[in-house]
Amino acid sequence: MIARGFVENGAKTYISSRKADVCDQVAKELSAHGECISLPADLSSQEEITRLAKELSARESALHILVNNAGAAWGAPFDEFPETGWDKVMDLNVKSMFFMTQALMPQLEAAATADDPARVINIGSIDGIGIPRMETYSYPASKAAVHQLTRVLAYRLAARNVNVNAVAPGPFESQMMAHTLKNHGDQIKASVPRGRIGRPEDMAGVALYLSSMASAYVTGVVIPVDGGSLIAK
């Protein structure tokens, strides 16, 4: 959703995913609307983070916008929740986000100016603010950590002309949400004050705002994009 918004508005956009065939196919589809390039990588691995950063830096001397969106979830009852489900989610959702940003700081700083900072957009979740319906203990913990990490990085990197903000999506039609929406879609829609699931333009719009001059003076914030779900709880 975010990548398409960037591509359609004229930004040269790189996308990455651990599934190379999917990444390549999405880049091909988005290239019908502009310039989109596939750079597959498995960001659960520090070696892959380093490789991706090197591949990008070999192609681009400067990076204006970094969207940290890699993530995973794990559901299980409290008494059965496994350590593997905790570690996988926390490592990918939080640790990888930090080290991806760290690895690309030279390119971000190369693009940054005092008037037009480089941008880091971290994808959190309303589950990191409110209480989720499902038993996904490590997921809301990881997203709350993402929100706090966003604030810490925003403070530390402001002097380097890098703005860091987070988006906290509510229910959207994504691969991660597909199973939940299939089984509980009507119930979820009924619980959203706006009465619907999020649309691609809803997510693209907030990302475009956070990437534009309109948000040059905005850093360290978490923006819920949830149709009012949080205020309904």
Q: Rounded to whole angstroms, how far apart are CA atoms 5 and 3?
A: 5
Task: Give pLDDT, residue 176.
Answer: 65
Between CA 47 and CA 149, with CA 155 as vertex, the angle to 5 degrees is 45
Q: Which of 139, 155, 209, 217 is catalytic?
A: 139
**Which runs of E-coded beta strand occur in 10-161?**
13-15, 36-38, 65-68, 118-123
Question: Is residue 229 classed as helix, strand or coil in its secondary structure?
Answer: coil
Q: What does the pLDDT read at residue 186?
A: 77
Q: Do the Cβ atoms of 71 and 92 come closer than 8 Å? A: yes
Angle of helix 96-103 versus helix 138-157 axis, rounded to 10: 30
Report the pLDDT value the prediction gives residue 183, as an integer from 0 to 100: 64
> Is 217 one of the catalytic residues?
no
What integer pLDDT is reported at residue 178 of this predicted model?
A: 63
Whole-angstrom distance, CA of residue 44 vs CA of residue 95: 9
Class of domain 63-232: alpha beta
Residue 68, phi then psi, degrees to nearest 5: -90, 105
pLDDT at residue 233, rounded to an integer: 65
CB neighbourhood size of 111 (10 A): 19
pLDDT mean for each 10 residues of the chain (233 residues): 97 97 97 98 97 97 97 95 97 98 98 98 97 93 98 98 97 71 72 89 97 98 95 79
Q: Identify whether the C-beta of residue 36 lies closer than 8 Å to the C-beta of residue 15.
A: yes
Q: What is the pTM of this model?
A: 0.94
Given this model, what pLDDT does residue 189 score? 81
Helix (H, G, I), strand (E, B) or coil at 223: strand
Helix (H) or strand (E) holding 163: strand 162-169
Nearest Cα to Cα of residue 119 among 133, 132, 107: 107
